[in-house]
Structure 1
């Protein structure tokens, strides 16, 4: 029997995915509880033919202690919590699900922009508490949105924003210029984007390369009164610098969906700021997106069971001995 261990809380639960798993007779072991002792997770991984990854890190020790493992599959897009080099050294294919959750994350980003523009959380809290605090907000139409990372998510958000009448700027080291031209998106440098945008939405990968991408210096370059959204990874923004900017009215608002530690330590002063909005890393949490990701994972496991490398295998070149050092993934 094929045994799948998953650290993703959503894998195998939504849409057609449970039925597809049952049809194949695969055993699914869930290890998605963040409070699960490391030794218990390690014990389950020893039984795994395939590891379906959520946000729990996959380290060299993880793969070293999994003798049956045939593949590591990310139930999502970001690969920064997977030691791809260690997997490659063990001959393990690594896959992800690019584009599966792009609509979901982009729609949440748009929703968070509305929440900031129209003071929705504060209005909700006022009415719930018996108050009637009507605050004058702003409209999104005519504003400038700066998208950092014009990948699958960034492109979808750009289309949604353009439909609202926003002007869209994008910064990306490898921009899709054909898409930008077709959709009226202006490709600019990061500093230019920060200085001109009313809203800045981050859609880049995590890891050391982008750690502290938005720090005090970069916030100082942002348009006064702009809003910042982080639906990427927690380490991409410096929370201390963001809190300072809110307190000194350099930023009008911030919306954060991803944190360095999850759940975050809410004793940080940013969590008590009235112009900060938070969601629990739920950008990809729609039934449609979770189903899409699950179906992709099942397809790739079936491919691996036929001794073939899936087309979404991110370390294909290394496994096939054709190392391509010139490529890197810079957006989500």
Structure 2
């Protein structure tokens, strides 16, 4: 089997991953009827990257599998964005209207006619006049009894505050506050490490690419095959794809939660991006060919660092949730 066949196999396998990649997140949103866990900036950058990617592939006349992927990217991202907008704007309003209608329908059976209401008012007036004397005689006894109860409650509150259960409750509250402060400090440290690692990774990637194509001992790249506009579109899409993960990562850090996100979506994304890069490399290792496809290689391979950061967030925050559930039990 030659490399061309392997390139096609990996390319179609990548398409298969991207066909199902959004299904887990779409299902997660549908079952929860909530999309607060998904960053809308994340999807916005992704869609802009899809548009630039599609035009760049068309103008550069790249692989047919790349064109299919670009078209599906745009369709699936728009579908996911539509779901996010629906559950954040349309669905809550419809849900409120349904609740109002249901409450009105349930309360309708309690409505009475004006004649019945008038009769009820007259009977209540007559009964209130007959009971006014007895109620006035008992009011003085009730007030003295209530006064005694209030003094008794003040005495109980003063002394029960020293009971072990209340002391334990206060200690638990203070320990929880300390834990939250420690978690916030740890989150800030992780965010700093994330940005530092991002800068180092991108610098290493770009320097390595430059040395590979233009370093000593490398074959010259035929720049006559390099077209400015498609390359600018390709690099724009690559940057948007990589930057798109940052709002989602920062939202997870701020909320200290990955609730509402689907882990399989990012698993399929990683597998799809890896096989996508492999299919390009297997197609040809000619420096000119690789240099022309470099924006699309960076756009897929460059996102892996950010995807693995999200994997780390899933591990960290779900482990913390499990620990909190155990301690609460």
Superposition TM-score tier, normalisation by shorter sequence: under 0.3
Larger RCO (CA within 8 A; separation ≥ 6): 2
Q: Judging by fraction of residues, say which structure has more strand.
A: 1
Q: Which protein has the bigger helix share?
A: 2
Structure with max Cα Rg: 2
